[in-house]
Amino acid sequence: MSLSIPRLALPSGGQIDQFGLGTWGMGEGRRTPGEESDVLRLGLDRGVRLIDTAEMYADGRAEAIVGEAIRGRREDAYIVSKVLPSNASRTGTIAACERSLGQLGTDHIDLYLLHWPGRHPLAETIAGFETLKAQGKISRWGVSNFDRDDMEALFAAGGTEVATNQVLYNLTRRGIEYDLLPWSEARGIPIMAYSPIEQGRLLGHRVLRKLADARGATPAQIALAFVLDRGAIAIPKAGSAEHLKDNLGALDIVLSDEEKVALDAAFPPPTRPTPLEML
């Protein structure tokens, strides 16, 4: 059965899939690189396109695992990678991207993000991104771990072309619903939710279990369905075929009003501004 992944509009035109695969922790020896690239390849076989990685993950080895997964089928994938803030000067951004392209074994990254705000002026990083775009080495750029005031600073520095902001968002981390999420929605900037199942920690929650059992689903599927329901892009990391298939099941779930009320009661939305959390 072919997968139906919803797509979201990007502010500068085009669309992005609302579901992808994370890679943090890959390349660190928990499993062999071959096993890890096999899981990503299985995801591509099932119709998932978006793969999220970063130069930081296992010092480039996660990018190399992604490179192995997309070898010979680059057109099946939509690659997201990230530059470290310490590298994000104008020339440093370009050099970091070129290293990442080498690890990934490709000539372009679809979406290139600044991993978190750092010491280099944003105008410098943006200039690096725009050069990379003009050279065809990236198609779009965005940011990660930017709170609302960081986004305002980005706009003030000329960064209105930002395609996404990748932030920590899941049932236990709902702070962005107070201001960052509405601010972004008002400008048509999709939020990409990282650690959407709180790195597995939220799966034992009693209410999540109860809701999952009641509809023959799993806690991971309900947690991911929540993120998708809020209009965010979910990028869970699965290191096994079993987890990958489980997570894909979230795409078939439409939460009922009663389920949403139960989730709000167990995981209350914010009632005041909350500084953006980061993992």
> Where does this chain bind ligand NDP (CB under 6 A)?
22-25, 52, 115, 144-145, 166, 194-200, 203, 220, 235-240, 243, 246-247, 279
Q: 120 among the known binding-site residues?
A: no
Rg (CA), the chain: 18
Beta-strand runs (E) in the chain: 7-9, 15-17, 20-21, 50-52, 78-83, 109-114, 138-144, 165-168, 191-194, 233-234
Nearer to ligand NDP (CB atom), residue 215 or residue 261: 215
Q: How far is the CB of 52 from ligand NDP (least distance, A)?
A: 4
Nearer to ligand NDP (CB atom), residue 28 or residue 45: 28
* Sheet hosting strand 233-234, strand order edge to edge: 20-21, 50-52, 78-83, 109-114, 138-144, 165-168, 191-194, 233-234
Q: How far is the CB of 145 from ligand NDP (least distance, A)?
A: 5
Integer CA distances (angstroms), 53 to 22, 42, 103, 113, 234, in order: 7, 17, 11, 10, 14
Respond yes or no: is residue 169 known to be catalytic: no
Nearer to ligand NDP (CB atom), residue 11 or residue 239: 239
Q: How far is the CB of 22 from ligand NDP (least distance, A)?
A: 2
Q: Annotated catalytic residue: which of 57, 112, 169, 194?
A: 57
Residues of the binding site for substrate: 115
Point out the residues that are catalytic.
57
Binding-site residues, in ranges, read: 115
